[in-house]
Homo-oligomer: A and B are copies of this chain.
Amino acid sequence: MKLVEAIIKPFKLDEVKDALLEIGVQGMTVTEVKGFGRQKGHKETYRGQEYTIEFVPKVKLEVAIQDNQVPRVLETIARAAKTGSIGDGKIFVRDLNAAVRIRTGETGETAL
């Protein structure tokens, strides 16, 4: 199992969520974060306004998936989150050793 984490522009959340639902992702978790990449937050355009602050508001999306879903999930997020301008975000993939679905007690891939 893998945990795919994407840090994206907040106004792209709905589009990314819908694209992931379409390919069969079952659940996700969202956190409000702030950050910067190579431009150090300078001159980044956020929802049409120019900012010269250092930390820019972003949304972190986490999806726990099966190993074989990784390529499709990466493509889908990258496509749906992309505007083509700076600050579009990053996707990180990490291993997931175990998962539990609390209500049913299921573990492993069936718990996702």
Q: Which residues of B contact A84 (CB under 8 A)?
A: 103
Distance of A26 Cα from B7 Cα, bound (Å): 15
Chain A residues within CB distance 8 Å of chain B: 2-3, 6-8, 17, 21, 26-38, 40, 54-55, 58, 60, 64, 70, 74, 77-78, 81-103, 105, 111-112
Which of A26, A31, A84, A103 neighbours the largest number of chain B CB atoms within 10 Å of its CB?
A103
Known pairs A29-B7, A29-B35; A97 contacts B94 (CB<8 A): yes
Distance of A93 Cα from B77 Cα, bound (Å): 23
Q: Which residues of B contact A21 (CB under 8 A)?
A: 40
Q: Contact at B102–A82, with CB atoms within 8 Å?
A: yes
